[in-house]
Structure 1
Amino acid sequence: MKGEHFQPLREKLRKRLTAYTEKHLSAAAKEVLIKSVAQALPTYIMVCDDLTSIIRNFWWGSEKGKRKTAWTAWKNLLLKKTQGGLGFKDMRAFNQAMLAR
């Protein structure tokens, strides 16, 4: 993926880490914070993208190993039903919201 796709992730991570000051965290606490937050996020986001890809391929289907035509943009299917979509979850946005809690 291109770097600009990870910019919101970088900003979120920067905000999270700057909330803690060096004088309040031990080396062990910093290690845990880095491993559980900083190093887990990119992998998690990529997993979300992979899962979304699997879901999209399932939704649109395939014939003899070839993907069928997507008749509308995926972002339109993410809209609520009242807005003309199908109400599918944007897994990336959903999981980012969960991480922000």
Structure 2
Amino acid sequence: MRFLSAEGKEVFLKSILQVIPIYAMQCFKLPISLCQELENIMCKFWWCNSKTNKGIHWCKWSDMCIPKAKGRLGFKDLSKFNFALLAKQGWKIITQPNCLFACVIKAKYFPKGKFMSAGLGSYHSYTWRSIWGARQPGLGNYYLKARYYPIVIRRGAAEKYSLNPIGVQ
């Protein structure tokens, strides 16, 4: 593997190493330390010299995660990608309330309410905690509420969201 060209390493990283954790990432919030460790492994693989197993890191991994359209390599930032996959599951609960996944989650965690106003609950699974946490993007006591902030969704549909403190209408 150490004798691959830069293009070969890029294909290997994007098609193998970044794809393997996707199933777990869409079900569970991976610890930041695990995401960083995986990114360190990928970074070492990218910069490693085949002769000495050492290499100089010419730029930060975060710079390598900038999209190709902006002139960089377009690798995934695993912690952000993990958040996006969990938010996608939350979006599925909102937009497809009759699918089996949404029905099971709704029956267990918010039988009389809505996803965006559901509480974490006392006896929750790690999957629910992960999806529930994805609707709160690290903003402390803030949550997304349908109003004002336009987000374009597939097939031209649009919803509006705004950030409101919990309890403030």
TM-score between both structures, scaled by the size of structure 1: 0.50
User: Which of structures 1 and 2 has the bigger CA Rg?
Assistant: 2
Higher helix fraction: Structure 1 or Structure 2?
Answer: 1
Higher strand fraction: Structure 1 or Structure 2?
Answer: 2
